Each structure stands twice: as C-alpha cells, then as structure tokens.
Amino acid sequence: MKNTGLLLLFILISITSFGQFNKYFSEETLRLDYTHAGDAKNEFFYLDELIAEPFWGGSKINLIDNFNYGKYYFEVYDKESDILIYSRGYSSLFAEWQTTLEAREVSKSFEETIIFPMPINPIIVKMYSRSWEGELLKQTEYDIDPNNYFIQRGLRKEYPVYQALLHGKPSEKVDIVILPDGYTKDEMELFKQDCDKFAKVLFDFYPYSEYKDRFNISGVLAPSEESGTDIPKDSIWRNTLLGSSFYTFDSERYCMTTENKSVRDAAANVPYDQIYILVNSEKYGGGAILNHYNLSVNSNKQAGKIFIHELGHGFAGLGDEYYDSSTSYNDFYNLDVEPWEPNITTLVDFNSKWGHLIDDSIPVPTPDSTIYYSSMGVFEGGGYSAKGIYRPKKDCLMKSFDGDTFCDACSESIVKMINFYSK
C-alpha cells in the first residue's frame, strides 16, 4: 500500500510540474546575450540582445536548480505572480580571467549567454554573482516581455544535423550537441566519425556506462573556412567558425573560444542541454565551464579522457582535483569558504560534501600513505592548491589520466546531474 501511495504521489508531482511548464512556457528557447565586463575586482553586466530559438532541450519537470553550483546564478520570475519559474547556476570564462594577473592591470569584456524555455507571459530575470565569501549577490535584473517585436526569431545560421545517438524526447534525456571547430567542408565526414567516436567513448567510463539510454547526442554540420585551430605562440592562426585557440590565459593546453555568439548560433540548430565543441587538432588540450560549454581536441591520443574530464566540469560542476602549478590562476579559491564544487573541500563545511562515502575507519584528513590509496578519504591537495584544499581520492579522472575511473564523489555527482536532466 505504502508503495502505491508513493507512486501516486510521484505521478501527482510529475503532473503538477509538467503542468507548471505548460502554464508558463512554450517549447522554444529564449536566449539572453549579454556582455560581462570588468577587471579583477569589478564586474558589470550589459544586456546585448534577445533571441527566440526554435527548440527547448531541457527538462520540463526540473525547472528550478537547487544544486547551488557555479560562480553565477539566474532566476526567472513570472512578472504578474512573482513566482519563481526557472533558475540555473553556471560559470564563465570571465570569472576565470578575473583570477589572472592580467585582470589586475586591464579591463576586458566577454560575451555570455543564458538560456531558458520561452516564457508565455512577461518575466523578470534576476542575475546573481558569487562573492569571494561565497554568497550569491544580485547584480542586475531585466524586465522582459516575450511578445516584444525586437526579440529576433528563428535560426541565425542553419546547418544540417547528424544524429549520433537518439534515445527519446529531448525533455527526458541529457542532450549533448557537438559542434565542430576547424573542420572544413571536406572534413565533415571526419566530423561525423568523430561524433560517433565520442558518442562511444563516453560510455566506456562509469557512471556514464550505466546510463547510456538517458542520452541523445547530435552533431551540427557547420564547416570552417580553414582546418585546425589557433596556436598563438607558434604564430598559427586559422579562420574557424567558432574561433577556438590554444594558450587561453597564456596556458598552452587551455584551448577555448571567446566567440560565444558563434557557438550559440550553431548550437541552436538542435535541442540541447550541453554544448561540446570538438576542435580538429591532435595537439593536447581542452577546457570546460559549467553550463557554458565543453571543449576537447579530436585526435590527440588522450582525446577520450580529455573529453570525459571536461564534461565533468561543464555538465556535472566538478572541480579539478589536481594542484600542480600549470594554470594561470591566482587565489582561485577562498580557503575560508566551502567551494561550490561537489568534489573538493576546504573542510569549512565538509558535512555537505562526500562524508557519507567514506568508511568510518579512514582518518579525516587522510594521510598520504599507500594503505589509503584505493579508499575514499579526504586527501590534501586539489583545486590548483597543494595546501588547504582536499580531494576525495588519491587519484580520479578529475585529477590525472593515470587511471580510468572517477572517484565515488565525482560518480555520484554525475549520476545526480543525469537524473536532473532526464526526469
């Protein structure tokens, strides 16, 4: 009886949530582009433009994001009733740039985008930024009438789509859109093969291996003028569709793009939850930012692990568990605040993290001794810092490519996110 009751309750909640979607939204996307500008200490949001795109790839049930991940967060309120109808956490390249030495000297601006299902009635969008103390502080808000005729409608750049994996409706699956950068028209067949390759490699790794039926993967057949990507230090510059480049923030392997509008224009050809950019290069590199985009090269011998590691950042909000001095960041984390990433801790609020995954016999913090290397624990070193930040296991795909597995904290976080998007 109890189970029947629970099932009924679940069905009721599902119907109510689904009803909420249809009450407030239609099945398109409203894309809000803005410029994020400032320096190491200051930030400003400038509204750029609104675009109504034809598909919505997100859940119709999980509209409110309670993960508390990301440097930023936005909320969408129904204007008339003041009811919160959608929210999402995310991060951006601007946030990372703010921690570089350059940001202490000059001001810069970056293109950014938030997307949400197309509202039927007027809304208020509130934008928040996380302070050094870890609190989300409101920065600005926008009053938007979805019937405003200045909202551009339709695709700005239309391309054919290659379906690498299709398991069901976009609202009930994790939808990954793969975008090519540095593949010419003659290399579109190679891009399709790469989509198939990565659609296969993703499920070679646990926990993705157990959830293959929860994913849709498509590729947008969008060619570039030239093959390859920019490598500034070698004076190599390529005219590519999405403008990717190695040496982002002067870190050789950090391959990213700042041409956000080009990325979103291409992605809009399909319903999507996550954008994955494949760069046609055999040089080691990639990068990813939570709910912004993921990027990996296609043909480095480590490309499969780069692909899976970066998706950990962009999709599941995982932090880097390594702590060598290979990044350009300074003081990335405040050691007096618990970081929002689920797989690193400053011990300020460790109870909110992976304590439930550690055996009682394991000391916290965990000594760097071989007897603990196969156990879950709390090992010092992570988040680009050798001291004061701790990680869940000696090794994990978020730390190095020596092994083939995620630690239990990372796996658990990935499963939670799969469920969030596919229910």
- Out of 63, 144, 164, 410, the only residue in the binding site for Zn ion (CB under 5 A) is 410
Q: Which part of the chain contacts Zn ion (CB under 5 A), choosing from 172-180, 201-209, 232-240, 390-398?
A: 390-398
398 binds Zn ion (CB under 5 A): yes
Complex with Zn ion: residue 188 or 316, whichever CB lies closer:
316
Q: Which of 243, 216, 219 is nearest to 160 (CA)?
A: 219
CB-based contact 181:226 (threshold 8 Å): no
Complex with Zn ion: residue 273 or 395, whichever CB lies closer:
395
Task: Provide, rounded to whole angstroms, the least separation between the CB of residue 128 and Zn ion.
Answer: 27
407 binds Zn ion (CB under 5 A): yes
Complex with Zn ion: residue 263 or 410, whichever CB lies closer:
410
Task: Provide, rounded to whole angstroms, the least separation between the CB of residue 402 and Zn ion.
Answer: 13
| 3-class secondary structure, 325 | coil
Task: Provide, rounded to whole angstroms, the least separation between the CB of residue 342 and Zn ion.
Answer: 9
Complex with Zn ion: residue 303 or 398, whichever CB lies closer:
398
User: Which tokens sit at 79?
Assistant: 């204007």
- Find the Cα–Cα–Cα–Cα dihedral 102, 106, 109, 112, rounded to 10°: 30
Cα–Cα distance, 421 to 59 (Å, whole number): 6
Kind and range of the H or E run holding 412 = helix 408-422
316 binds Zn ion (CB under 5 A): no
CB-based contact 371:362 (threshold 8 Å): no
Q: Which part of the chain contacts Zn ion (CB under 5 A), choosing from 47-55, 88-96, 180-188, 401-409?
A: 401-409
Complex with Zn ion: residue 177 or 344, whichever CB lies closer:
344
CB-based contact 297:285 (threshold 8 Å): yes
* Residue 114 dihedral angles phi and psi, to the nearest 5°: -120, 150
Complex with Zn ion: residue 292 or 309, whichever CB lies closer:
309
Site mask for Zn ion (CB under 5 A), range 326-355, x = bound: -----------------x------------
| DSSP β-ladder status, 379-382 and 215-220 | unpaired
Amino acid letter at 64? I
Residues 6+ apart with CB under 8 A from 169: none
Task: Provide, rounded to whole angstroms, the least separation between the CB of residue 184 and Zn ion.
Answer: 37
CB-based contact 51:77 (threshold 8 Å): no
- Out of 303, 396, 417, 418, the only residue in the binding site for Zn ion (CB under 5 A) is 396
Complex with Zn ion: residue 103 or 396, whichever CB lies closer:
396
Contact footprint for Zn ion (CB under 5 A): 343, 396, 398, 407, 410
